[in-house]
Structure 1
Amino acid sequence: MSLVRTPAEIDVDAVVARFRELYDAEPDGVWAAPGRVNLIGEHTDYNGGFVLPIALAQHTVAAVRQRADDTVRVASATVDGGVPVTVELPGVTEGGEYGWAAYPVGVGWAAAQRELPVTGLDIALDSNVPVGAGLSSSAALSCVTARAWSDLLGWDLDDETVADLGRDAENKIAGAPTGLMDQLASVCGRAAHAMQIDTRAVTIEQIPFDLPACGLSLLVIDSHTEHTHTTGEYAERRHSCQEAALRLGVRELRDVPLESLATTLDKLPPLLRRRARHVVTDSARVEQVAQLLTSGDDPRRIGPLLSESHASMRDDFEITAPSVDALQEAALAAGAHGARMTGGGFGGCVIALVDKQQAEPVAQACVAAAADGGFATPTVFEAVASGGAARLR
């Protein structure tokens, strides 16, 4: 039996049937928004730097109906036994306790802050984006809601604004201090492309990323070491970056020149020096990877940059975990061209760039390394660059 698994597709008809059962009505439509994998550029997004994500084939699917009042009822097939959560939109405030429903109802709050017309919704959800793996299951949830609300109420928003509604929901209502990368990737993904995102200018350049055409696979190796953005560790890294920028007299770490990095960072105490060095060098690696991919060069050449990024996250930013490091090392030893942790850190997934025929041996090596280290058994699937949030029917 192959260890490289394909996650089960979501049965859209079943989501619609579940909606009818829950709400005794027909949905107005069905929408989907994907999770994402970031190829390179970690913790650079809230520092004004560059990131390079792809949208995944794994999605959150939502059957949605507009209501005439201010009530949101939302049920997920994967949470709380599928029982709907009911929230009154006028009562949604920063700091409120809404559980997982903070992500969809936060979108309504964010829209109201922009003085957009907002009514309630009935929502039935299902998802095959792994939760707690650093693959932005939360962004898929907020962005599918934002896309559905925008379409139903005729907000006529560009993709960047739809993504920004999702970010506000996560930052201000769910309390997760993410940058904008996750939501932009979920909304703006394109098949067979990665997105080079300038997070300061909020511009996206679509970069060719058709690995199957080159005999390659991008494996996602889920360590099953739980990852969460709401921990104090994530917030500490963000604060350290802000402190480093302040001490260096720059707006954001994006503004620290790579050419004089060593001299510039000598002005910082050791901890802030390491944090800043990771951000500046990883943002530069994004530009290097994007240049290689657009040049028509062999994509295998990006492998060493992926591995350099992992070393930087491990040694300078200190956001990897022993289980993740073991998987990264095992993937390289088994023949991966490059491998790195992806996501906010402290668990989650490793991505590995491999020749197609090496996918299974690399997966086997990672499972064996986890067993040897006493870690949870990882699961492995192939990441395929896919399209962004859209209406399905």
Structure 2
Amino acid sequence: MESDDLFVNVNKHIDAADERLVQLRDFFFKEFSTKAEFFVKVPGRVNLIGEHVDYSGFPVCPMALSQNILLAVATSPNNDDIIHLKNMQSKYKSFKCSIDHIKIELPKPGTYPGWHNYFLCGVKGILDYIHKMGDYPRKGFLVAVSGNIPPAAGLSSSSALVCSAALTTAFLYDLPLNKTLLATLSASSEHYIGTQGGGMDQAIAFLAKKGCAQYIEFNPVRATPIQLPPDAVFVIANSLAEANKAATSDFNKRVVECRIATKLLAKFTDRPWQDIEKLGQLQSEVLDVELEEFEALIKKHLTKDVYTKDELMSIFHIHEKEFEEKMLTPNTKDEKEFKLKQRALHVIQEAIRVEHFRHVTDNADDDDEEDAIDQMSELMKRSHKSLRNLYECSHENLEELIKISKEFGVGARLTGAGWGGCIVALTDSITTCDRYIATLNECYYDLMPQAKHLEFDQICFATEPQNGAEIFIAEFS
């Protein structure tokens, strides 16, 4: 039976008080001289704990934000097969192409992908899935985009655009709007842009529920609500250092190092390493050991701080071409050194922290809520320390925000891939939250020239869990 738990919600009512939707409706009509037939909303997300573990197969604890991607959509009145894209932000150029000639342009080193490429990832992922089931009619469509998720800030702006495109295409082509299927397809679709993510962003985009975070597991994707302590208030602070995962090889190199660590551990424990890709798969399915026991195996077998490419080829008894095909990605094929021990230890220790975090939230009640928040804060602090020291994905701006947070007395950590972007901090009341935000403004943002040209409530704000992706098809009322 179709229910909101399994399928994306299709709303019959649009609130005319929603200013962004009204503005998007009017923009769409101005640009295309026709009315939008439906609207799509996909939220950004903040990951509370569980960073850089989803692509290794371990659970995460994100929640959806109020910031989102909005689309206004209509089928092409010309009955052509052209996708027409317009963005309300003038810095993003308009784009169009045939659905039969979708070309996703990978970014050159040090550059960001064109915004439309993320949209095309979502369209292509759904069309490729439909094509496997047979031929399909060619439907062109018109799309106007409005987004208020800060770009390159670790809040999933790119993935939200991919997911919104996938949901739009699925709805246009009458594909059943199953949340887990759409999350899975969206995750694989984003690989077209060259980023080897693990699926967290797409899962929370579709599976989020208002009022709670989600404990998300993979293979298969499933979500369990996490009730946060009532007085817990999460604050997101943007470091204003932008970091796009597809613009450099940093993110993919971490994925590669985890993959190589998995295969090396499998070989050292006499398991068939060729077909084992993820640390989570090796731990739970192949070795069938507890997380702490797996951590001990990492420390026992991965003894070197740095492994060279030549050394690894010798251990695996393979030539360079096979090593690159089995282990690397196109933008990491020139890498010569790999930090396997550090990356694997972060992943397994972070997976342990996620389980502790969930245990704390599951057992928090009115009598020990303060203690629960203290424990959650401490886990977030340890998570950031590991991301800085073992995963090496922090940034000087992030470290300054963490320093201010520590001096104020709240637990905080980078959220998202890192190398810039945002931190997430946990405060114990609205009053503490307000004082903390004021402190960040005084000690950080007032000293950042670029912050003076931005809306403060868009770069530093308290947040609470929101719903996942939705479709609106009715007239405004």
Q: Normalised by the size of structure 1, how large is the TM-score?
A: 0.90
1:80-104 deviation digits (Å, cap 9, x = unpaired): 35x5211212112455688211122
Aligned with 1:30 (options 39, 63, 82): 39
1:375–1:46 distance in 2 versus 1, CA, 3 Å: farther
1:12-55 deviation digits (Å, cap 9, x = unpaired): 11101111111111111111000000011111011011111101
Task: Name the amino acid aligned to 1:101.
Answer: H
Task: Name the amino acid aligned to 2:88.
Answer: A
1:285-334 deviation digits (Å, cap 9, x = unpaired): 11211121122342403111111100110110010111101111211221
Please give the alpha-carbon distance, in whole angstroms, between the structure 2 residues aligned to 1:66 and 1:267: 57
Please give the alpha-carbon distance, in whole angstroms, between the structure 2 residues aligned to 1:319 and 1:43: 10
1:52-97 deviation digits (Å, cap 9, x = unpaired): 110111111100012333211111112535x521121211245568
Residue in structure 1 matched with residue 299 of structure 2 by the alignment: 265
Residue in structure 2 matched with residue 114 of structure 1 by the alignment: 129
Residues 1:382 and 2:401 aligned together:
no
Question: Does the residue aligned with 1:55 lie in a helix, a strand or coil?
Answer: strand
Shift of 1:140: 1.5
Residues 1:202 and 2:221 aligned together:
yes
Q: Is the 8 A contact 2:298 2:341 kept in 1?
A: no
Q: Say what the alpha-carbon RMSD is for the aligned residues.
A: 2.2
Aligned with 1:86 (options 72, 87, 96): 96
Question: Does the residue aligned with 1:215 lie in a helix, a strand or coil?
Answer: coil
1:181–1:200 distance in 2 versus 1, CA, 3 Å: same
Residues 1:62 and 2:96 aligned together:
no
Write the mapping of 1:1-393 to structure 2, written as runs, cut at 5 A. Answer: 11-67=20-76, 68-80=79-91, 83-93=93-103, 95=105, 99-116=114-131, 117=136, 119-172=139-192, 174-209=193-228, 214-230=230-246, 231-249=248-266, 251=276, 252-254=278-280, 255-256=282-283, 257-260=290-293, 261-268=295-302, 269-270=304-305, 271-297=339-365, 298=369, 299-300=372-373, 301-336=375-410, 338-355=411-428, 356-370=430-444, 377=451, 379-393=459-473
Q: Is the 8 A contact 2:437 2:461 kept in 1?
A: no
1:186–1:341 distance in 2 versus 1, CA, 3 Å: same
Q: Is the 8 A contact 1:331 1:363 kept in 2?
A: no
Question: Does the residue aligned with 1:11 lie in a helix, a strand or coil?
Answer: helix
Q: Is the 8 A contact 1:105 1:169 kept in 2?
A: no
Please give the alpha-carbon distance, in whole angstroms, between the structure 1 residues aligned to 2:408 and 2:351: 28
1:267–1:375 distance in 2 versus 1, CA, 3 Å: farther
Please give the alpha-carbon distance, in whole angstroms, between the structure 2 residues aligned to 1:265 and 1:10: 54
Task: Name the amino acid aligned to 2:472.
Answer: L
Please give the alpha-carbon distance, in whole angstroms, between the structure 2 residues aligned to 1:54 and 1:306: 15
Q: Is the 8 A contact 1:31 1:389 kept in 2?
A: yes
Deviates more, 1:175-184 or 1:50-59: 175-184
1:170-205 deviation digits (Å, cap 9, x = unpaired): 211x33322211011111110011111112331211
Deviates more, 1:231-240 or 1:160-169: 160-169
Please give the alpha-carbon distance, in whole angstroms, between the structure 2 residues aligned to 1:215 and 1:369: 25
Question: Does the residue aligned with 1:39 lie in a helix, a strand or coil?
Answer: strand
Task: Name the amino acid aligned to 1:43.
Answer: H
Please give the alpha-carbon distance, in whole angstroms, between the structure 1 residues aligned to 2:106 and 2:99: 12
Deviates more, 1:133-142 or 1:86-95: 86-95
Task: Name the amino acid aligned to 1:241.
Answer: C
Q: Is the 8 A contact 1:51 1:199 kept in 2?
A: no
Q: Is the 8 A contact 2:63 2:208 kept in 1?
A: yes
1:262-289 deviation digits (Å, cap 9, x = unpaired): 3432322222111101001111211211
Question: Does the residue aligned with 1:65 lie in a helix, a strand or coil?
Answer: strand
Please give the alpha-carbon distance, in whole angstroms, between the structure 1 residues aligned to 2:444 and 2:402: 11
Please give the alpha-carbon distance, in whole angstroms, between the structure 2 residues aligned to 1:226 and 1:314: 17
Task: Name the amino acid aligned to 1:392.
Answer: F
Shift of 1:105: 2.0
1:79–1:138 distance in 2 versus 1, CA, 3 Å: farther
1:65–1:372 distance in 2 versus 1, CA, 3 Å: closer
Give 5+ residue unaligned stretches, structure 1: 1-8
1:115–1:324 distance in 2 versus 1, CA, 3 Å: same
Give 5+ residue unaligned stretches, structure 2: 1-17, 108-112, 267-272, 284-289, 306-338
Identity of aligned residues (%): 26
